[in-house]
């Protein structure tokens, strides 16, 4: 999500009040799973050259959020293009997701009393899960290839970057800017109450990266008095788990 907002209030002989609010909320679940005690899957992987291409959960380069709030180095972030892939033989249960919120807000208030207020609230929440529950995978290894794998992989990459600027001026000026960002995204990869067999490997991986960058600027000027304030709050409330449960 990319969002830009701006407001201006000008009072030539009175008060000028500029107010802006930006609210972004991204949620939802991404799941890949095999479920049910009556489910039997056989993936023999006889031909080692016949490979699956799936997300490996990582990004091909690091994310520098400092660049996202620096006009000199700004480059729009594209997480999808950064996803890495891998190849394997056998069975893959793969859930991969990305979320990115970019918010820019600018506000101006000018008048005998100049008031500028701006608030930016960004939230990313939800779950990414890859799992096998109560199923039988490759109950027999007869005739299976030597590269046979069972791969359970869950990954998520969530980032927020924002810029809020606020200016107020007049005989008295009040400028306030507030930026609140929360990432609450849970990532799980697991197998439970299942029979899993493979000649080569059984992999259960969960991977998550998260980041928040914020630049909040508030300014005011007045011949009688001036007040300026900024507040920035960043919260991470997430967990990442990879488990095998008997």
Higher-confidence residue of 161 and 93: namely 93
Position 167 confidence tier, pLDDT thresholds 50, 70, 90: confident
pLDDT > 80? residue 98: yes
Q: Of 59, 44, 198, give the one whose Cα is nearest residue 132.
A: 198
pLDDT number for residue 13: 66
| CB burial of residue 220 (10 Å; 0-12, 13-18, 19+) | buried
| C-alpha distances out from residue 167 to 69, 128, 136, 157, 192, Å | 18, 41, 63, 34, 56
pLDDT > 80? residue 69: no
pLDDT number for residue 71: 60
pLDDT number for residue 203: 97
Number of Cβ within 10 Å of residue 74's Cβ equals 12
Rounded to whole angstroms, how far apart are CA atoms 65 and 193? 41
pLDDT > 70? residue 28: yes
pLDDT > 90? residue 64: no
- pLDDT by residue (tens digit) across 168-196? 777 777 778 888 999 999 999 999 999 99
Position 14 confidence tier, pLDDT thresholds 50, 70, 90: low
In the chain, what percentage of residues exceed pLDDT 90? 53
């Amino acid at each position: 999500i990319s969002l830009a907002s701006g407001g201006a209030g000008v009072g030539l002989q009175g008060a000028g009040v500029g107010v802006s609010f930006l609210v972004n909320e991204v949620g939802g679940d991404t799941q890949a799973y095999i479920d049910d005690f009556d489910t039997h899957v056989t993936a023999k992987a006889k031909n080692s050259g016949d490979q699956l291409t799936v997300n490996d959960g990582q990004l091909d380069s690091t994310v520098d959020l400092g660049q996202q709030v620096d006009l000199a180095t700004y480059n729009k972030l594209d997480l999808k293009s950064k996803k890495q892939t891998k190849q394997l033989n056998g069975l893959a249960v793969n859930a991969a997701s990305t979320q990115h919120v970019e918010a820019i807000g600018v506000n101006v208030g000018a008048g005998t009393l100049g008031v500028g207020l701006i608030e930016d609230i960004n939230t990313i929440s939800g779950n990414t899960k890859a799992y096998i529950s109560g199923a039988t995978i490759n109950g027999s290894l007869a005739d299976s290839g030597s590269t046979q794998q069972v791969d359970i992989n869950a990954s998520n990459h969530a980032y927020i970057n924002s810029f809020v600027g606020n200016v107020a001026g007049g005989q008295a000026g009040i400028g306030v800017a507030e930026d609140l960002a929360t990432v609450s995204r849970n990532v799980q990869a697991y197998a439970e109450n299942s029979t899993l067999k493979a000649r080569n490997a059984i992999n259960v991986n969960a991977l998550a990266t998260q980041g928040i960058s914020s630049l909040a600027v508030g300014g005011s000027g007045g011949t009688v008095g001036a007040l300026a304030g900024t507040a920035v709050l960043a919260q991470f409330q997430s967990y990442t788990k990879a488990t095998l449960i008997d």
